[in-house]
Amino acid sequence: QITLKESGPTVVKPTQTLTLTCTFSGFSLSTSGVSVGWIRQPPGKALEWLGIISWDDDKHYSPSLKSRLTITKDTSKNQVVLTLTNMEPVDTATYYCAFGHNWFDPWGQGTLVTVFS
Amino acid sequence: SSVLTQPPSVSVAPGRTARITCGGNNIAIRSVHWYQQKPGQAPVLVMYYDTDRPSGIPDRFTGSNSGITATLTISRVEAGDEADYYCQVWDSGSAHRGVFGGGTKLTVL
């Protein structure tokens, strides 16, 4: 059974850097073909694809966030880390990590991050 | 680049058929995936590769992709199907990114 869970701060200040960790079980990110993605959802709004990282460390980012977003993996810890710099109030959202590449299944429960001074 | 267009809302009576559309450039040549999201919950995959249903998803859910529109069809709609539905594609062009539609709120009358 594959499970994922996001963790990190619930509140960050404007201009700060957000670091979120996705801890997963049921698969290894060293296995060929495996990927983990990040998706976010502002309150009351639609899902937004952020980026993915694959088993071979291949990464793809949303063009609109590419200058601020970094996704890394720690295979030994079964973790994927999202880093988003220069946070703004518009970055307030529930952040999800999910298993997959072309599609995502399953998803973590999500974590709400509020950007607030 | 891909932009996916969904109707903001669809309403249907219980027992009837709901059709949720997803439009976009060249969508017929892309694989479309669908997610169901109920309030306060994470999205759940209900359809992938246009027509494939994950295990555990009722066969009342079917998908199609033709012309300029992909469609998620829910037959014999139940109250428990009320949710937001999102389509998604993988844009394998120069951008190499995923794209979600704007979502459709399905209301069961």
pLDDT surpasses 90 at B2: no
Chosen for mutation from A22, A38, A102 (greatest number of chain B CBs closer than 10 Å) is A102
Whether A37 and B88 have beta carbons less than 8 Å apart is answered as no
Residues counted in chain B: 109
Which among B43, B88, B103 has the least Cβ separation from residue A107? B43
* pLDDT tens for each residue of B55-105: 999 999 999 998 789 999 999 999 999 999 999 999 877 678 999 999 999
Residue B91's pLDDT is 84
Residue B92's pLDDT is 76
Residue B27's pLDDT is 85
Residue B67's pLDDT is 75
- Can you tell me the mean pLDDT for A50-74? 96
* pLDDT tens for each residue of A17-33: 999 999 999 999 999 99
Angle at Cα B60 formed by Cα B57 and Cα A96, nearest 5°?
35
Q: How many CB atoms lie within 10 A of CB B90?
A: 21
Residue B48's pLDDT is 97
Contacts of A62 in chain B (CB under 8 A): 97
Residue B26's pLDDT is 81
